[in-house]
Structures are given as C-alpha cells and as structure tokens.
Amino acid sequence: MSSAELIVTRFAPSPTGYLHIGGARTALFNWAYAKGKQGKMLLRIEDTDLERSNPAAVDAILDGLAWLGLNWDGEAVSQHARQQRHAAVAHELLNSGKAYYCYCSPEELTAMREKAQVEKRPVRYDGTWRDRDPNLAPTGVKPVIRFKSPQEGETVINDHAQGRVIIPNKDLDDLIVLRSDGNPTYNLSVVVDDHDMGITDIIRGVDHLTNAARQTQVYLAMGWRVPNMTHVPLIHGPDGAKLSKRHGALGVEAYRAMGYLPAALRNYLARLGWSHGDEEIFSTQQLVEWFSLDGINNSPARFDFAKLENLNGHYIRHTSDDDLLNEFIRFLPFVAGGTELVGRIDAVMRSKLLKAMPGLKERAKTLVELKAAVAYLFSHRPLTLDEKAKALLDDEGKAALASVHAVLAGSNDWTAQALETAVKAHAEGTGIKLGKFAQPLRAALTGTATSPGIFDVLEVLGRDEALGRVADQMSQL
RNA sequence: GCGCCCUUCGUCUAUCGGUUAGGACGACAGCCUUUCACGUUGUAAAGACGGGUUCGACUCCCGUAGGGCGCACCA
C-alpha cells in the first residue's frame, strides 16, 4: 500500500487516576481504526500538569488499556518530557509575528472576565497587548506568549462525525501558548506533539471540539497539515447527564471488579455511538474489519448496565471452559476475598471447577456471580445453609433426603446421567415429584436454593463429599 | 451570556425522500423445567414541537423547546 498513506492515530489521556470509561471507548475507536487500516495507534500521556500527574496514575491507564486488550505502537510518549520543544515552537510563533508577549497579570485577566460577565459580553481576552508597543511593557512582569488568533473570518473543522463545523473567529480569543513560567499550555503541546508524532487522524471526545478550532489555527500558523478530525459524542449516565462519579463506575478497573469480561466491554463500548447496521454481538476481529469513521453517530449515548450485563452473560456462556476459568482466576484478585480463593485452587480444585463450568457459566452474567455460584465447591462440611436452603430442609425435606441418600449410596456408577436415572426411577416408584427430592438435595449439597443441575453437582462433588453433605443434613434433627 | 453540537420505542440503534419505521437490551405473557438461568414463542413500545420545500418527508431547510459540550497562565 504505497499509494495510501499510513494511518497513525493516537490515544492521549491525561493521567487522572484511572482509565475513564469514555476514554476507554475513545482508545477502542482509535485502536480499531488504526488496526483496520494497517496503521498505528500511538499513546501519549498528557502529563503537562505535573501537580495532577503521578506515576501511579499513568500505571492505572496502562493497566486499564492492557486489561482491555488495547495495545499501542512504540513507547508511550510523555507530553511533559517534550516541553522544550513546545516552548521552542511558541518562540517560533513569536518570531514570525504569529504570537506576542502579553503582560497582563492574572488579576487583570480576572477583572476583565468579571467585567465582561457583568456587561453580558462574551468572556474573552480583549487583545490589550496584541498590537501594543512592547516598549510599554511594565518592568518586573514576566509575560506570557499569546497566539495571535485571526479576528476575521471563520475556522472550519471538517469533522468526520460532526460534519463541517464552522466557528466564527471573533469568538476565539488569543490563547496563551506559553505561560509566564515558560511552560507550554495544552493547546500548543497537543498540536506540536500530534504534528511531530505524525498523527494523521485524531479521534477524541466532542468536548475537544472548540479546542479543535484553536488547534487548527495553530496548525495553519505553523504551516503544518491539519490532521483528520473525528469528535465522538460523549457517554452519558442513565439519567442523561454527563457521566460522573455520581453514576458510580468511571474507571475501567471498576468494570473489571464488577466481573465484566474485556471482550464484552469492548463489544458494548463499540456499540455506544457507533454501529454497523443491526450488528449487536461481534468479535473484536469483526469490529476491526467493520470499523469506519462514518459509522460514528453524533448524539450522546446513555450508559446502560442492563445491556452490558446481558452482553457479558453472552460472552461468559460462549467462552470455553478453560479460557473462562483463566479469566476468572485473573479476575479474583480484584474482588474481596478473591486472593484467598486463588490460593485454594490447586490441581484438584481446578479440575472440579472445569467440570462444573458448563453448568455454572449458563447462569452467571458476571464473574462476580460466577464467584458466588462456585462457592459450594469451596465449602467445608458441615455446610452453613442460607435461609432458603433451611426452609427446604423441613421435616418433609429431611425425610426426602434420607430416602434419596439410600438411592445414591446404592448407585455404583457416580455420573450425572446414572444418578439422574436412579433418582428419577425412585421418584416414579414412590409417586413423588422429582422436585421434592431435588430441592432438598440442592440445599444439602450447596447450602443454597439455586444451583446448576443437581445431578451435575452430585458428580462434580464426588461420591464421598456428596453423600457426606447429604448425611450431615439428615442427621441434624 | 456567547459559540458550537444533538433530538427515532424506557435504553442502544437501523433507515441515508416513497418501509406495515427494522433489530437488540429491558418490560410483560406463554412454552421448556429439579431450582436459578439458558433457550424459545409472542405482546406492548418511537420519529420533541411548529412551519416550510416536495407528487411524497423520520430523512432536506427555518424556527421553537429540551439536552450536551466549550468559553483558565486545566488537560
């Protein structure tokens, strides 16, 4: 593909402590787009604001991306490390007359803003120093460098999701590109980095749409090519308001702890703000093949846990027992009591879990539910029964247990199939419904009123353990 | 306040001027059944409002309403 240009996208999160779920979707889109075009996705950490950036926050993002299975090309770029270059570009702008020194103090700017607010005028820098003679500069004041933004005309953003967005230049004031302490500001750094990194396509949230206009002006001033832009709509909470802490889970690590599978989350996120006809459930491979910028909508989507849960259940059911067990073990450390459980999974337990998995995974919508469903395998005799299980083991239940115990003990083939045949025959022989035996049995074997098929439970538990658990409940009078 | 953007079932969405407006989740009802699930069958459920343009608008234009984003020496 020599004629076609290599697509280079980037994901550029600011390290705030976790990988935001909206950021995760942005990353997914960038990733899928780059992959589908045989291009590259780069990663840049926007750590310009050192006060809010720390290694732990960066790690949280890398960890989140890794968990989601989104890899990037090359080394992650630290924006902070490139400050010299950003400052150099600011001075380049200054020297070519595309920027100027501004000596306004923060207090003056605040006053300017407040005055504008009172007078109900747009709050913008009034351009005091734009054309003023630099010789008038007050002594002892460290100036900032402001970009000389065009005052006439309009700036056009040809956005792949939003369409042709036109912003009047009069509404864009002269932004600061270099602070008085010599550090560059975001809008400058982003442009310089995206240019230097050879980014061809910027895919990010619409919250950056106005920044896109300012950045476009900087590109133009530098004579650089403006990358293709795609601003994707934001994700809202179930109530329609912007997703915030109030809605609960913001970081992907929270979704991991809630027991969602990375593949399910990818699928769900992909369908939020993007679509490919009526396709609902598709593999990541298919996403990569299908993903296109014009499949992106331009209206915000509400996050729907019910749908995520449904999808997750589907993925759990369709994951092989072996893979699912591995996912489960990988998940356990992130949930209370999970690490201890991992310690108890030896070869024997592993094979029990694997054997029980077909029955278990039909019923779990999350790995948290799977953990609960698997608990009976880890229980020690005598079991502690929950309320519903206790209710099942009334006098009638215990009597049923005693009679079924004899049947089970008499079976010389401890397989689910053989045991089912035997117990069903017993039920028919006594004229009692199967349920009258199955439910007390379930209570005795699992300590709960719900579980996978009872004959499977019997087989997985093994003859001695199963008979022991039944006997425990028979004898307690 | 100024600028920009958005608006199809409760939710995610399909439709790219002509459809009985389709699918999925959720809800409800039935079937299956040893529990819970799964599976399966079916039902209810939508073009914000008002004007245009057009033979014909969910689709194009304008306005209104509602919602979102942005307006820092934050990113």
Q: Closest protein residue to B2 using CA and C1' atoms?
A: A122
Q: Closest protein residue to B25 using CA and C1' atoms?
A: A307
CA of A275: nearest nucleotide by C1' is: B13
Instruction: From the CA of A116 to the C1' of B25: give the distance in Å.
Output: 48
CA of A104: nearest nucleotide by C1' is: B73
Instruction: From the CA of A310 to the C1' of B40: give the distance in Å.
Output: 17
Query: Is the pTM here over 0.80, yes or no?
Result: yes
Instruction: From the CA of A272 to the C1' of B15: give the distance in Å.
Output: 18
Catalytically active residues of A, by annotation: 245
Q: Closest protein residue to B11 using CA and C1' atoms?
A: A304
**Closest C-alpha among A106, A29, A18 to residue A62:** A18
Looking at residue A110, what is its pLDDT?
82
How far from chain centre, in Å, is Cα A169? 36
**Which chain B positions have some atom within 7 A of a protein CB?**
1-8, 10-15, 22-26, 34-39, 67-75
Mark residue A333 as left, alpha or beta (left: phi above 0; alpha: psi -120 to 50; beta: remaining).
alpha
Q: Which residue has the tokens 């579980």?
A: A451
User: Using CA atoms, how far apart are residues A218 and A193, in angstroms rounded to an integer?
Assistant: 12
Looking at residue A52, what is its pLDDT?
64
Cis peptide, bond prior to residue A382, ω within 30 of zero: yes
Tens digit of pLDDT for each residue in A316-336? 999 999 999 999 999 999 999
Looking at residue A475, what is its pLDDT?
65
Looking at residue A243, what is its pLDDT?
83
For residue A5, give the amino acid letter: E
CA of A231: nearest nucleotide by C1' is: B5
In chain A, which stretches have pLDDT less than 70?
A: 1-4, 50-52, 475-477
Instruction: From the CA of A207 to the C1' of B64: give the distance in Å.
Output: 26
User: Using CA atoms, how far apart are residues A234 and A298, in angstroms rounded to an integer?
Assistant: 9
CA of A110: nearest nucleotide by C1' is: B72
Q: Which contacts qualify for A226-229: CB closer than 8 Å, 24 or more apart?
A: A227/A194, A227/A199, A227/A200, A227/A201, A227/A202, A228/A158, A228/A160, A228/A200, A228/A201, A228/A202, A228/A293, A229/A157, A229/A158, A229/A159, A229/A160, A229/A201, A229/A202
Q: Closest protein residue to B67 using CA and C1' atoms?
A: A240
Tokens describing residue A203: 């895919």
Looking at residue A386, what is its pLDDT?
93
Instruction: From the CA of A158 to the C1' of B52: give the distance in Å.
Output: 29
